[in-house]
Structure 1
Amino acid sequence: MPLTRQQIYHRRRIVVFGSLALLLAVLIYLPLTLLAPLERAAAKLTPFSVAPPVAVELTWPRSGGAAIGLLGDDVLLARTGSEEPLPIASITKIVTALTVLDAHPLAEGEPGPDITFDQDDIAIYNEYVAQNGKVVWVSSGTTFSQLDTLKIVLIESANNYAESLVTWAFGSEAEYLKAAQAFLTEHGLSGTTIVDSTGMSPQNTSTTADLVELGRLALQSPVLAQLVSTSETDLPGLGTIDNTNILLGVDGVDGIKTGTLDEAGACLLFSTDFTIADETVSLVGVSLGARNHDELAADVRGLLASVEANFADVQLATAGQVVGELTTEWGETAQIVVAEDYREVMWSETPVTALVTTRDVTTGSAGEEVGVLSVTVGKKTAEVPLELATSVGDPGPWWRLTNPVPLLF
């Protein structure tokens, strides 16, 4: 039976609208499919760890207490013996010098104001002679600059000049002690007690931890850092004065202060530098309570040798080292690798952690940065770039057409 006009009309409408719908679907489908953003590649990370250097047993002094720390850090590397306050003898004079400079600052190379000594200073001299304390001659009318007076106090360790210096700076030893306590409180040295400017009293005490921090404070002062490293110097009217620290210049020792007292034994607050893989390692340490200064010197040298052996130049990350792999929906893979070497001179017992962080990747070229490896050594964190070992290419139109956009289908 032939189709009626109305049937033909309906069929034509179906064909036309069907064709339009198909054309519209194609026009929408093709751009959405070919231009749709790709899903990010799945990242599978490889566990990353770093083995620290092998620890070498430290050779600690035979008696008393001792500690060692990095100059530029605020933690101890290691300590031994008593953690309670111990007598510190003439190491006390470092507190004296720091407190005086806090009240009367000196720029590096500046001599400071003149100090004229009188009969009161002669009386102070006689008092310390009577106590069998270390003294340097003084006469009425003698004048030294503030800097030269500090030299006599720190290099020659003269007790009479220490008291005369604080009397000039604060008006009396009693007022100095108030200033010293304020200085100690300000710097968190709660384990330190100072009862005089010289260290003659065994009640001048400190912990080994506080003393390492005290050494750091001294070396932060360019004036004191220069003075404590001076082996000898000439002063008008006195001639040559010699540093009491017999280890100066030995095994890199460049400071800081000796101390000797019956109740304290032989003591040394010291600093030293040594080189590991072209990097200078600066240390501050202390040893208290040795029987004499020869024993003290031998003990400190043994300790420093074992401390140096605990530092090593460690390669913490290597260029090309694999830290993960990317896999795309279309089956392409690429390794994530470390972009450059990273090394660090480190103490054997310093904790090391590593964290791999990657950004979202769909496609990318070989060598393109795709994340960072954060390596933390103690308190220091470094970020090492991560890159693609090979390119991740676009899957192409055929894969896109055969993998339609999920939201539409």
Structure 2
Amino acid sequence: IAIIPWIGLTLRRSHPLDCRKTIIASLILTSAFVFITFFAKTAAQLLTGQILLGFPWGVFQTITVVYASEVCPVVLRPYLTTYVNLCWIFGQLIASGVLKGVAGRYDQWSYRIPFGLQWLWPVPIMIGVFLAPESPWWLVRHGQREKAKTALLRLTSAQDTNFDPDATITMMEHTDLMEKAVSEGTSYIDCFKGVNLRRTEIACCTWVTQVFSGIALSAYSSYFYLQAGLPRKHAFTLTVVQYALGAIGTGSSWALMSRFGRRTLYLAGIAGMWLLMVIVGVVAVSIPHSSTEPTAGWVIGSLLIAWTIIYDMTVGPVCYALISELPSTRLRAKTIVIARSCYNVAGILLGVLTPRMLNPSAWNWGGKTGFFWAGSCLLCFIWTYFRLPEPKGRTYRELDILFALDTPARKFAGTVIEAVSEENAVLEDAKMPVIEVVERIS
């Protein structure tokens, strides 16, 4: 199930439909595949439905971010990118509330209600997508200049008399020509050649860090609380509180990211999560826990909520900003697909290990699982310190220069870049003609 969305990611890269039609088609498929899970009577039928749902899920993981980045002002793009994490939290919060509501049921509706509620979303979303303007960038790439102009006018206030749609379209056409020139002959294999290998490694490890920072305990939080000794009703309540506070944490990250930068937040977040995981393990070892003695469960539950707040202030949302900034311009889409694939593969490993760690009939680690994730957090911290650069305040051109010069990650923020002429040939595309482009941000 975890690897199927990768196929959706790859199919999206070669699909001829525009963004709106692709989203609508994926929503229709989602509605259809939910029927399989809702009416499933065997584990095989349920698995089939979940696998098929992975295809549209893979499309949603990329196309929504692409669409938002192409229809919104430049100044909003970093915030909208990290907003993806907030959307995940909203979904988790709703799911936790639904599961809490059916936790006391022991009939078939205990699982059919959560599946059936998924039918609430596709229709209103499809209506909104249908009424939304198409991405002007997509229209320009496909030679539909007049439609692109119409879309731009819909995205711009009619009171802005200084806006020149024709000049903006011309800028887009110039940019498209440049992209065609530099991307000719590129493929996924180019992501692993030369300086792009480092950028691909950073993108992949940045995303995988989300998995190995201990997010498994958050994903399995209700079950984890039960194993830690909390009563069932309190376990689900804490899960809801956990995700609600996570939403507040993501909002806080917007202010922190602009002040401290991405790398600093990543390091601080991993360090904080490492400390909390160590404490979780120590509490599990030193304080007895059971359904009749839930003290350890409450302590561990409080620590996990604190972990969630730190995660959603740092690693959770900042990852999406880094993923969109650090890949090279011509290979960004392909790099993101590779990075997300690594995330999904790591998710498979997580999905295999975590139930065994928590299940009393398997490894039965319980709260001692914190020691495992503390170890993985430490490895992530070491990698982040030596390999993750700081892109804050850098243009894509400056990032290209820093990567081409093999600047150490720790020196990215303090390196001063002088004017680099085309004759220096520092970059792979140094011989490309220079076109000055000014993009509106208001």
Fold shared per TM-score above 0.5: no
Larger Cα-atom Rg: 1
TM category (shorter chain) comes to: under 0.3
Q: Which has more helix, going by share of residues?
A: 2
| TM-score, structure 1 as length reference | 0.21
TM-score (norm 2): 0.20
